[in-house]
Structure 1
Amino acid sequence: MQTTSPSSWLWRSITIAILLSLTLLLSTPLTNSFTPALAHAQPPPFTDTPRNRIFFWKVTYSTLAPDGVTRPVILVNEKYPGPKIEVNRGDYVTVVVENALDVPTSFHWHGMTMRDDPWYDGVPGMNQCPIPAGTNFTYAFGTDNIVGTHWWHAHFENQYIDGLVGVITIREPPATDPFLHAYDEERNVILTDWYHQATGPLLQKYMSPASRGMEPVPNSGLINGKGSFNCSNVIPADLPCAPSERAVIHVLANRRYRLRIINTSAAAPFLFSVDGHQLLVIEADGTYLNPYLVDSIPINSGQRYSAILVTNQDVANYWMRAEMGTECMPPGTNLDPVVLGEIRYQGAGIAPPTSVGRFVPTSPKDVNPAFSAACQDLDLFALHPLKPEPILEPISNNYDIKISFKTDGQDHIVRGYLNDITFDGNPWNPTIVQNLNDAAEYSVQEHVMRLDRRGAVVQIILDNSRGGEHPFHLHGHTFQVVAQGLGVYEEGKTPINTINPLRRDTATVPKHGFTVIRFKVDNPGVWALHCHIEWHVTTGLVMQFLELPDELRAMGIPKHVAKLCETPAPAGFKANTGFMPAGAKRQAPAVAAFANATHFH
């Protein structure tokens, strides 16, 4: 990733101010020539008083061929990506879920802190029981202190890999929106890796000694639910496949577009760019930033960025590139890591782009630098929130969390460990329910860390000095990222970001490195901290914080939430088996994703 911003904050601010002024001059008002092909759904109107926005969802099995290869999926309202939630800050969100599956499900609202609504965070075993098959459940939560770009996804049995994902947009009221006049329109850019098999067969191999800890490798990638796979490369060859279309974003020349970029992958990080254009980053995980001009954006699973794209180039069609970080993934034998979509200028026609990316190989030995650049976050010391906050101190609770993978001596399966604990909770006995008993004791495998003092400052040192990169997500909080780098973090010696540190909810822990985060104890609930590589969640790379347990107990649990726990686990339920489509064999043969498997972590 290259930047064009000067090193001086003063000159950077001046440069950005000039850039925004110039783009304002470039913009042109919408006219009657705006074609239906460019039409974009309007956000909900702003009102003087907040509204209750109600969404009705039905979760069903279906089939889909987003990259041309047909496979079984799980969808909400027969859509992939699923229905958008677009509301205004202060609105109340109500989502009525009808679970028409024959297995339980649940939903997490990634980026929502669930302040005063901790039982709707959607994590079975922590803050709710799963929604039983054939029943309804209603999530309801506020958005008073939240803005920006977020997403929702299933949080039960890897179901989000099978299709249960969608966008959440919380808009700032015009009177307080710092970027209200910085762009003319906006578009969502949803990135994901994609597998040609459902999670059931993939997990069957992964959660066995045969995988040797190497997680499944995707077959392709998608932008806004679309991709193009070469049907001659399908394995097994009898999978239905037909030519498919890539994602197209229609734009007008000389306008400014806010791209809300979301990585909904199971595993893959991406380096996102648009040929011939630069990107002005203004948001990370719901935090507005001092604008930062870049050529490309590395974005890991669970992360979000907003970036302004100025369409000030020649009228033509340009490639959007989402290049996978293959250097931090297991080796794949059937994957094109360069995922393409189109930025299509009005008047340029429909011919595929001929634009060239920043990497132009001069020999077969040249390796695309994007494949490693995608594996790390944007420069921590270059990203600063637009609304400054001092670094949280003094530290009250300090946790040094060592990330590791090792082979279980009994079943010989490679699992993930945080401080030598591999997580194993009971979805039907969540921590929030156990906490109703003030004498509750938790098993070691539940990995519960109590935070009892309101206002305490928690520091977490994620020590990854022995393994590959991991994007870590904390529920219930936006944290400060105070340090990030290679090697081992040393308190008092390693440089930290003390001046207005970046605030977000998902941060990459680099390969053979560390990331240090801080947050304040002020939100009663049960909050997961976990790697957002979904396969690693399955192997136990998870822990939980029981925050202000006495206050949480005093809040009680709504009756309809507690009622979920009255339905026991389905007969014969076995965790970590994923979605097994009807007719699939339980003893699936080895798939190409695991060819020549080695322990990758």
Structure 2
Amino acid sequence: MTTLSFCRSIAATLLVALLFFTIADAAPPEFTSTPRNRIFFWKVTTTNMAPDGVMRPVILVNEKYPGPKIEVNRGDFITVVVENALDFPTTFHWHGLTMRDDPWYDGVPGQNQCPIPPGTNFTYAFGTDDVVGTHWWHAHFDNQYIDGLVGSLIIRDTPEKDPFLGAYDEERTILISDWYHNPTGPLLQTYLSPQSSGMEPIPNNGLINGKHTFDCSKVQAGLTCTGGERTVFHFLPNQRYRLRIINSSAAAAFLFSIDEHQLQVIEADGTDLNPLLVDSLPINAGQRYSVIVTTNQEIKNYWMRAEMGVECLPDIKGTNLDPIVLAEVRYQGAGAVAPTSVGRFVPDPKAKETQVNPAFAAACQDLDLFQLHPLRSEPILEPITNSILLRISFKRDESEVMRGYLNGITFTGGNPWVPTIVQNLNASHEYEVSQHVMKLEKRDSIVQIIFDNSRGGEHPFHLHGHVFQVVGQGHGVYEEGKSVLNTINPLRRDTATVPKNGYTVIRFKADNPGVWALHCHIEWHVTTGLVMQFIELPDELRAMKIPAHVAKLCETGPPNDFKMHSGFTPPAAGKKPHKK
């Protein structure tokens, strides 16, 4: 090949890559009968921005918050080329994807991959054959998703298999989140100290699709505030809209609603459901739902509400948090005037005491388990071969720091540069107690997990590598043979709330070789150890072999001066990146 033809070839390749990047980032892909490789190019950087009008440092992908949407069809292959332009490591997790046959791309440092070093590239590449629906991606390293590294991940079913294809006219993706005016570095410094008594940081605000307003008279001293703006959704009258709702919070659960409109729930965490009509939708950290909203009301503008579950947060008295997060729904023809609609709760002006919005408590628990049934019915998984009771607790460690425990073990993460998936290559390796490893060695065994939370606040638990059945949920202590189970076509999802002073029971089949995390999705609780990991089918996992470019990540080791659980602290002006 001549030099000129070689250069033309490179130019053509870059043009195709840019075309893929533009198509994949900008518009939903048309369904094609032949699966395609959807390629995304990401550059991870930091900058200052003000999602709610308060300026702060944020970590971004391609200069966006929320980050770029990944939108593909079932069967497509996803390739994400990550350029880590930060001066600290990172990883990415694809929340809701089972990563079948690709466990080393699940993105959990210390478990199934090593971190991506600063100043380097890494390529994630995985299939979508066994999963559809509404999902999301986020950083899974050192609390970085709290600082901005989140985005939506939508996988559309084939037209012949999509049961709701004709049930709506358009769709919107809605990413809701709590938001902090300080980066995680200083927040963690306080949280991981005896003085916090384990009370996680209180959000300063909430966001809908990366926007909201803030009262500048309440801003923390030293921060710049311009007031911000709300997200606006433009709807046509008499149309049906599918809303894909994702809670990307660090801690907060929400009760989602649109004034004077009902929501028809059709999906939970990628599982299509028998439609259920509700007035409001509780959604906890890590969970996703799809609802259909019909715009058949009077032509005017309405508030979309995400009411934060303050009943499941530490006491917010004395903070600057307004727990009611709003966006505008504008009917065509109604103009741009602010909505005047009211929610379901209107305080009584004659009341002598301040009334508590009941939505704040309703947000802290899942929809009624016995009302949610998958559209595609599956029998309850049985017989149970592994029944695991996990007791959730918090207590102070030897440094008087409050930590989270599962069965008396607090997870410390081990060494992120010597992950469990590498340790598993040695069949006789003995794991540290603090790694909280549990092996599942028999293929197709039915695993039941009973979360005992009879003495604590609510926790949304997420299992990597699986969609599980939620067969039980209630208050008090679970009693075998007495507590009512959802045995007929139980709900299937990947993130379920363990209620305050209660229990949740889930089941899954051990048929996916890998190292899979099980953790509370309150990100602060991950930091304090409310995590464990399954090594599933370890012999089969060893035989799969780790790809060379994945294993190579582990060769660099941590940057100089790196310390786990230190969070994001913006680099000082003129500071150079870490070097080995």
TM over 0.5: yes
Deviations 1:88-131 (A, max 9, x none): 00000000000000000000000000000000000000000000
What is the one-letter code of the residue matched to 2:78? V
Tell me which of 275, 278, 298 is aligned to 1:314.
298
- What's the CA shift for 1:573? 1.6
Q: Which aligned pairs between 1:82-101 and structure 2 lie closer than 5 A?
A: 82-101=67-86
Tell me which of 186, 200, 204 is aligned to 2:185.
200
Question: What is the aligned partner in structure 2 of residue 297 from structure 1?
Answer: 281
Question: What is the aligned partner in structure 1 of residue 371 from structure 2?
Answer: 382
Q: Secondary structure at the match of 2:450?
A: strand
Question: What is the aligned partner in structure 1 of residue 339 from structure 2?
Answer: 353
Q: Which aligned pairs between 1:15-164 and structure 2 lie closer than 5 A?
A: 42-164=27-149
Deviations 1:182-235 (A, max 9, x none): 000000111000000000000000000110110000000000000001000001
- What's the CA shift for 1:392? 0.2
2:325 is aligned with 1:336: no
- In the alignment, the residues of structure 2 paired with residue 387 and residue 64 of structure 1 have an alpha-carbon distance, to the nearest angstrom, of 44
- In the alignment, the residues of structure 2 paired with residue 94 and residue 248 of structure 1 have an alpha-carbon distance, to the nearest angstrom, of 32
What is the one-letter code of the residue matched to 1:252? L
- In the alignment, the residues of structure 2 paired with residue 491 and residue 562 of structure 1 have an alpha-carbon distance, to the nearest angstrom, of 44
Question: What is the aligned partner in structure 1 of residue 407 from structure 2?
Answer: 419
- In the alignment, the residues of structure 2 paired with residue 55 and residue 355 of structure 1 have an alpha-carbon distance, to the nearest angstrom, of 41
- What's the CA shift for 1:334? 1.3
- In the alignment, the residues of structure 1 paired with residue 342 and residue 74 of structure 2 have an alpha-carbon distance, to the nearest angstrom, of 40
- In the alignment, the residues of structure 2 paired with residue 578 and residue 468 of structure 1 have an alpha-carbon distance, to the nearest angstrom, of 24
Tell me which of 508, 521, 526 is aligned to 1:519.
508
Question: What is the aligned partner in structure 1 of residue 164 from structure 2?
Answer: 179
- What's the CA shift for 1:244? 1.5
Deviations 1:430-474 (A, max 9, x none): 100000111111010000000000010000001100100000000
Tell me which of 250, 275, 288 is aligned to 1:266.
250
Question: What is the aligned partner in structure 1 of residue 239 from structure 2?
Answer: 255
- In the alignment, the residues of structure 2 paired with residue 387 and residue 397 of structure 1 have an alpha-carbon distance, to the nearest angstrom, of 26
- In the alignment, the residues of structure 1 paired with residue 555 and residue 236 of structure 2 have an alpha-carbon distance, to the nearest angstrom, of 55
- In the alignment, the residues of structure 2 paired with residue 433 and residue 243 of structure 1 have an alpha-carbon distance, to the nearest angstrom, of 49
| Deviating 4+ runs (over 6 angstroms) | none
- What's the CA shift for 1:394? 0.5
Question: What is the aligned partner in structure 1 of residue 7 from structure 2?
Answer: none
- In the alignment, the residues of structure 2 paired with residue 232 and residue 243 of structure 1 have an alpha-carbon distance, to the nearest angstrom, of 10
What is the one-letter code of the residue matched to 1:417? Y
Q: Which aligned pairs between 1:361-380 and structure 2 lie closer than 5 A?
A: 361-362=347-348, 363=351, 364-380=353-369
2:258 is aligned with 1:278: no
Question: What is the aligned partner in structure 2 of residue 486 from structure 1?
Answer: 475
Q: How many residues align?
A: 543
- What's the CA shift for 1:583? 4.2
- What's the CA shift for 1:42? 4.1
Question: What is the aligned partner in structure 2 of residue 35 from structure 1?
Answer: none
Q: Which aligned pairs between 1:446-595 and structure 2 lie closer than 5 A?
A: 446-583=435-572
- What's the CA shift for 1:64? 1.1
What is the one-letter code of the residue matched to 2:495? T
- In the alignment, the residues of structure 1 paired with residue 27 and residue 569 of structure 2 have an alpha-carbon distance, to the nearest angstrom, of 38
What is the one-letter code of the residue matched to 2:279? D
- What's the CA shift for 1:570? 1.3
- In the alignment, the residues of structure 2 paired with residue 427 and residue 347 of structure 1 have an alpha-carbon distance, to the nearest angstrom, of 55
- In the alignment, the residues of structure 1 paired with residue 344 and residue 65 of structure 2 have an alpha-carbon distance, to the nearest angstrom, of 31
- In the alignment, the residues of structure 2 paired with residue 321 and residue 238 of structure 1 have an alpha-carbon distance, to the nearest angstrom, of 30
- What's the CA shift for 1:41? 6.0
Question: What is the aligned partner in structure 2 of residue 589 from structure 1?
Answer: none
Deviations 1:376-433 (A, max 9, x none): 000000000000000000000010000000011x211000000000001211111000
Q: Secondary structure at the match of 2:360?
A: helix
- What's the CA shift for 1:572? 2.1
Q: Secondary structure at the match of 1:174?
A: coil
- Larger deviation, residues 461-470 vs 574-583: 574-583
What is the one-letter code of the residue matched to 2:282? P
- In the alignment, the residues of structure 2 paired with residue 403 and residue 243 of structure 1 have an alpha-carbon distance, to the nearest angstrom, of 40
What is the one-letter code of the residue matched to 2:385? S
What is the one-letter code of the residue matched to 1:275? D
- In the alignment, the residues of structure 2 paired with residue 552 and residue 41 of structure 1 have an alpha-carbon distance, to the nearest angstrom, of 37
The CA RMSD over aligned residues, in Å, is: 1.0
- What's the CA shift for 1:43? 1.3
- In the alignment, the residues of structure 2 paired with residue 429 and residue 238 of structure 1 have an alpha-carbon distance, to the nearest angstrom, of 41
Q: Secondary structure at the match of 2:554?
A: helix
- In the alignment, the residues of structure 1 paired with residue 228 and residue 200 of structure 2 have an alpha-carbon distance, to the nearest angstrom, of 27
TM-score by length of 2: 0.93
- In the alignment, the residues of structure 1 paired with residue 26 and residue 272 of structure 2 have an alpha-carbon distance, to the nearest angstrom, of 23
- In the alignment, the residues of structure 1 paired with residue 228 and residue 219 of structure 2 have an alpha-carbon distance, to the nearest angstrom, of 14
- In the alignment, the residues of structure 1 paired with residue 33 and residue 498 of structure 2 have an alpha-carbon distance, to the nearest angstrom, of 42
Deviations 1:151-182 (A, max 9, x none): 00000000000000000000011111100100
Question: What is the aligned partner in structure 1 of residue 423 from structure 2?
Answer: 434
- In the alignment, the residues of structure 1 paired with residue 288 and residue 324 of structure 2 have an alpha-carbon distance, to the nearest angstrom, of 20
- In the alignment, the residues of structure 1 paired with residue 27 and residue 100 of structure 2 have an alpha-carbon distance, to the nearest angstrom, of 28
TM-score by length of 1: 0.90
- In the alignment, the residues of structure 2 paired with residue 466 and residue 329 of structure 1 have an alpha-carbon distance, to the nearest angstrom, of 16
- In the alignment, the residues of structure 2 paired with residue 455 and residue 395 of structure 1 have an alpha-carbon distance, to the nearest angstrom, of 11
Structure 1 residues 350 and 41, CA, compared in 2 at 3 Å: closer, same or farther?
farther
Q: Secondary structure at the match of 2:160?
A: helix
What is the one-letter code of the residue matched to 1:323? E
Deviations 1:8-45 (A, max 9, x none): xxxxxxxxxxxxxxxxxxxxxxxxxxxxxxxx964101
Tell me which of 177, 201, 219 is aligned to 1:234.
219
Gaps of 5+ in 2: 1-24, 574-580
- In the alignment, the residues of structure 1 paired with residue 283 and residue 454 of structure 2 have an alpha-carbon distance, to the nearest angstrom, of 21
Question: What is the aligned partner in structure 2 of residue 18 from structure 1?
Answer: none
Question: What is the aligned partner in structure 1 of residue 17 from structure 2?
Answer: none
Q: Secondary structure at the match of 2:541?
A: helix
Q: Secondary structure at the match of 1:175?
A: coil
- In the alignment, the residues of structure 1 paired with residue 103 and residue 176 of structure 2 have an alpha-carbon distance, to the nearest angstrom, of 28
Q: Secondary structure at the match of 2:152?
A: strand
- In the alignment, the residues of structure 1 paired with residue 430 and residue 26 of structure 2 have an alpha-carbon distance, to the nearest angstrom, of 50
Q: Secondary structure at the match of 1:176?
A: coil
- In the alignment, the residues of structure 2 paired with residue 69 and residue 107 of structure 1 have an alpha-carbon distance, to the nearest angstrom, of 27
Q: Secondary structure at the match of 1:201?
A: helix
Question: What is the aligned partner in structure 1 of residue 155 from structure 2?
Answer: 170
What is the one-letter code of the residue matched to 1:216? P
Q: Secondary structure at the match of 2:228?
A: coil
- In the alignment, the residues of structure 2 paired with residue 483 and residue 63 of structure 1 have an alpha-carbon distance, to the nearest angstrom, of 45
What is the one-letter code of the residue matched to 2:539? D
- In the alignment, the residues of structure 2 paired with residue 227 and residue 465 of structure 1 have an alpha-carbon distance, to the nearest angstrom, of 36
Question: What is the aligned partner in structure 1 of residue 309 from structure 2?
Answer: 325
